[in-house]
Amino acid sequence: MKFFIDSADLDAIAELADIGLVDGVTTNPSIIAKSGRDFKEVIAEICKLTDGHVSAEVVGTDAEDMIREGRILRKIADNVCVKLPLTMAGLKACNQLSSENIPTNVTLCFSANQALLAAKVGATYISPFIGRLDDITLDGMELIEDIRTIYDNFGYETEVLAASIRSVNHVKECALVGADVITAPPKVVKSLADHVLTDKGLAAFLKDWEATGQSI
């Protein structure tokens, strides 16, 4: 399973990339707006931190604007992936950009039927939002399972990119049901390494080692 980092924090992305935990990055206009910086400049800098796809989202609402913006975003770097909303206009834009061999990430997916449409028009990734479904008492993980089954049934190559991940349990469950990719904030990715027994065991080992007076 690939790990994408859902952030525009260059330092946080670089830290995880140095460890080997960054297969790509997802962003959106809201995330980048918080930085107060130029959108294209931030995307360009993120693209230098990973060889994987970096999702950069269009802001147009009709297909023609999305296609135009997608072509502009793709020129920023070879690993830019154009992020499009799951609307009919977004699907039309996805179909056109995909025909031009431009990678696409269709986002804001909340149903298996929507995911089926995205695969039909050639999306590189589909982004089902787990946490937001959980927020309204629906089962976000069930959606991931349904999409996985549908894509496997018909051999669709669109990758399931689980988004809106809020916890380490979300990551584990995505791995169990076969999501191709998860995208999560840096804090969640770091938390995957945490366990109270690991900390306790390490403390005991270090204490015993210190008592020997030796060094390596």
3-state SS assignment for residue 111: coil
Alpha helices in 34-111 (DSSP H): 39-47, 63-74, 88-99
Considering 40, 48, 83, 92, which one is annotated as catalytic? 83
CA dihedral 162, 166, 169, 175 (to 10 degrees): 10
Contact status, residue 126 vs residue 91, Cβ threshold 8 Å: no
Rounded to whole angstroms, the Cα distance separating 100 from 121 reads 12
- Indicate if 83 belongs to the active site: yes
Closest CA to 143 of 109, 118, 120, 119: 109
Rounded to whole angstroms, the Cα distance separating 24 from 118 reads 20
Q: Which two tokens stand for residue 144?
A: 């991931």
Active site residues: 83
